[in-house]
Amino acid sequence: MLKIEQLRIAYEKFGVEIEGATFSGGLNIVLGPNGGGKSTLMRGIIGYDEPGIKVRRIYWDDDPLNGVQDTISYLPQENPRFKISVADYLTMTSERVSGSAYSAAVERFDISHLTNQSIENLSGGEFKRVQCAQLSIEEKPVIMIDEIEQGLDLKYQHEMMQWLRREAPFRTIITSMHDASLALTYADTITLVRGGRITGPMSPSAVTSEMLSVCYDLPLEVERRSGSALVYHRRL
């Protein structure tokens, strides 16, 4: 359980102000327009060297979250590439990696054919899968991913969400994304972020067409069918 008692970040022209938000174990998805504050919120949770942080009272299981190396695996929105093989990249952020943990991650993310390549030469979607495999090997209690579906085709978007669903009973996952249909289909909770303020976390079933329309400043409709949700533009 990751609890934000208070987080206040102030840049020159933008601020985040959050009080009393708790992300419980499970898949917590953050939605919101470009520039709404999703990435700033995640950097605020991490806390290191974020210049605008004015107040940061965040707890992990009732202990102040100061230093996240044992707690959070974090995948930022942009990740620089450099010359390193996929195999070395997968294990470089974990101390001891068992052969079985390595093989399981390689298989789960369908990257066995890539392990000898440099990460510089992967497509966007391949690199994303390699990054998520690296996180899964770290086995930390919190996984935080900024824009998870970026670069992934339809099949891998669903596979990635299914991976998170399988991890959800054992971890606290916080991920931002743009695909509201995918989010409402897979999430345990949804948090809407706009103008540095949040609504939620709340059950996906509590998210209404009106809430999304206000959040994105667009006439949106939510339709729920057996097991999945569809968000579409009302006037098309």
Q: Give contact residues for Mg ion (rule: CB under 5 A).
A: 38-39, 77
Taking alpha carbons only, the member of 188, 170, 194 closest to residue 23 is: 188
User: 40 touches which of Mg ion, ligand ADP, none (CB within 5 to 8 A by kind)?
Assistant: ligand ADP
Minimum CB–partner distance for residue 150 and ligand ADP (Å): 11
**Least distance in Å: CB of 146 to Mg ion?**
6
Strand positions, DSSP E, 72-153: 72-75, 142-145
Site string for ligand ADP, 4-43 (x = CB under 6 A): -------xx-x-----------------x-xxxxxxx---
Q: Which is nearer to ligand ADP, 38 or 137 (CB)?
A: 38
- The strand pairing partners of 145, in sequence order, are 75, 175
CB of 200 to ligand ADP, least distance (A): 15
| Nearest CB to ligand ADP, comparing residues 11 and 170 | 11
Are 20 and 191 spatial neighbours (Cβ–Cβ below 8 Å)? no
Nearest-5° angle of CA 26, CA 208, CA 218? 110
CB of 32 or CB of 201, closer to ligand ADP: 32
79 scored as a contact of ligand ADP (CB under 6 A): no
Query: 11 touches which of Mg ion, ligand ADP, none (CB within 5 to 8 A by kind)?
Result: ligand ADP
CB contact set of 6 (below 8 Å; sequence gap of 6+)? 18, 19, 20, 55, 56, 57
The minimum distance between CB 7 and ligand ADP, in angstroms, equals 12
Cβ proximity to Mg ion, 26 vs 36, nearer residue: 36
The pair of structure tokens assigned to 221 is 């409709």
Note whether 178 binds ligand ADP by CB under 6 A.
no
Query: Dihedral of CA 5/55/59/44: which sign?
Result: positive
Cβ neighbours of residue 43 closer than 8 Å, sequence gap 6 or more: 50, 76
Footprint of ligand ADP (CB under 6 A): 11-12, 14, 32, 34-40
